[in-house]
Structure 1
């Protein structure tokens, strides 16, 4: 059985669904959310547990035979980052202690593409040294710190660490007004009958949540892994112009525009996912146009 913390969040829910698709028994923890999405209903066990509650979390090991942990739970920072760091550090340490106590085979933890900020190369590969740079956001700062803490905590324990350097991810269950991705708010505006704001110029590499969840599931179920760090994203950069075209194709008549000047894909910071593809056989099921069309269809019947 595999445990997914934050299993009702966007990436967590899609990871849990992908694990179930692969025939795994899955238990998920949820703390702030209670609504189980339709694609997950009846397929996993849901435990309402705050991962930072050490005793309650460790008690899960008395009820389930857990052989792997995917730690994706996280909170939202307030203006002062210290309380956020304290909360999420407590959750990380509890999950790491559980991994060692239960003797799980594999412990995967969410990192971020932002750990590469400051590197000028394109694309970003896992063998690049992470630069000493101030991360752009407290979440990015914490996720960069997660890597050495996890490696040191699991060293010599027999638990294999998997560091997930997750690219910008979007899709079903994302906050429809999220500042981290322009697609959900644009789709929300069109579905409300409003004219959406122009998309910002630029280029990027977005992972679509169902694909990212499946990538993580494959990393958790692969018979063996040759590395500890893996980029998780589409691995394909695109421009704002291409994203606008995909949105207008899925939302005919919406008249979605982009601000100028347009960037080229050569400008885009993006993740090389060759390592993950080679070791797990992962291939995205959705290209950009397919992902946008799938998301628009989902949002016609779902609030987020």
Structure 2
């Protein structure tokens, strides 16, 4: 195993370490005055914190930031395309265009911002953060986000990502997706990991669960864990609580490599005034390619660690 490069502190960012190795950089500030340095420019909207780069213990980068095919994809983030109350379409915390029923994807001025408001804990191996989800000064949601890095083996570590969203808008809200707005199969929204596109001579990553394999077989289905495996890396996504394990996985391998846990696959997720919904995804970041037995064993270990 080669040592990862030491990462210098960056304003507005937190470097996560696993033992003595820097394994991820978390850009948590979205309110910096330098537009070029902000997580997302206004043209793609939905400024939000993100993790990038995320690396294996062997030094392989397994995230991608602002790729040309989807410039609003930001490494690992919590991204929701539609938070609505009495007004439709809702606020877009995903970025890019908004899918409108009977119209399709439309460029709208409806982007929201996730703003870091404070730390409850900030250590080299993790943090507990509070964020405000707002649109033009109106706060809709408050989030408590917990992110931590945990060593598992000499070839794998786990990124534990928990998000608890509380409706503070004063009215009932709901979370939607392009699927709930009329685009079949596009139920994305929630935890999302954009993986790196393979090289020109490499095949698309493989994807499998304990019971199925291939994008068509796993996309839109629930599973306790799911593996996305590139040429020399594997990402093992595990549902860390009951609600997350019930959510279908949103999976792409051929168009681009990415995996998300869907909050609103077929129907909108209601968020009553004052209510809270929480999701936990534990991702094992591994060198090499995992098979099913190894993935199942690591999933059990990662979720209970």
Q: Indicate the structure with greater helix content.
A: 1
Larger Rg: 1
TM value normalised by structure 2: 0.29
Pick the structure with more strand per residue: 2
TM-score w.r.t. length of structure 1 = 0.29
